[in-house]
Amino acid sequence: MSCWIMIDIEADGPIPGDYSMVSFGAVVVEPGLSRRFQARLRPISERWVPEALAVSGLTREQTLAFDDPAAAMQGFADWLAAQAPDQPRFVSDNNGFDWQFINWYFHHFLGRNPFGHSSTNLGSLYKGLVKDTRQNFKHLRRTPHTHDPLDDALGNAEALLHMHSEMGLLPSLAAGPKPA
């Protein structure tokens, strides 16, 4: 069975390659939200937009001391394999932004993306569930949205769990067996 992974990323610019993903957080969407991953990545480019980086509360000097991006992506791929032996499913609040960075980084550093070629947008899912394109799911978060990517992934996962348990979203979000 598929395993839903809520993702949030922070970047120092608008597109991958020219700019850098500086951090990301991931959580398996299941009750308890205890299976989590977070990484901070050293920039891959000399280019950066100060206003974009400021959203995360980080400085350029801090990011230059972060982990090697190739090692971080390999660590994430290994974590995903342990959490989702079949097929992890990528879901995020802003999948148009988050997906492009995760996808690019996986392909650039590992030559493959464990998520495959698809992603799901949490906001669109909610709009369909309530049958109103003007609605927003963000009131369903319990964890404050801080622009720390793990906090933001947790809040979004809480919202998705609420949609499942309280609003009748199907199919099940069951994640399969937990690693020993």
The residues annotated with a catalytic role in the active site are 147
Residues 28 and 175 sit within 8 Å (Cβ to Cβ): yes
179 preceded by cis ω (within 30°)? no
Residues 6+ apart with CB under 8 A from 174: 1, 30
Q: Is 177 exposed, middle or buried (0-12, 13-18, 19+ CB in 10 A)?
A: exposed
Q: How many CB atoms lie within 10 A of CB 94?
A: 15
Residues 37 and 25 sit within 8 Å (Cβ to Cβ): yes
Residue type, 173: L
The CA distances from residue 129 to 24, 31, 172, in Å, are 27, 20, 14
- In this structure, the chain runs to a length of 180
Q: How many CB atoms lie within 10 A of CB 157?
A: 29
Instruction: Please identify which residue in the block is written with the tokens 């480019």.
Output: 45
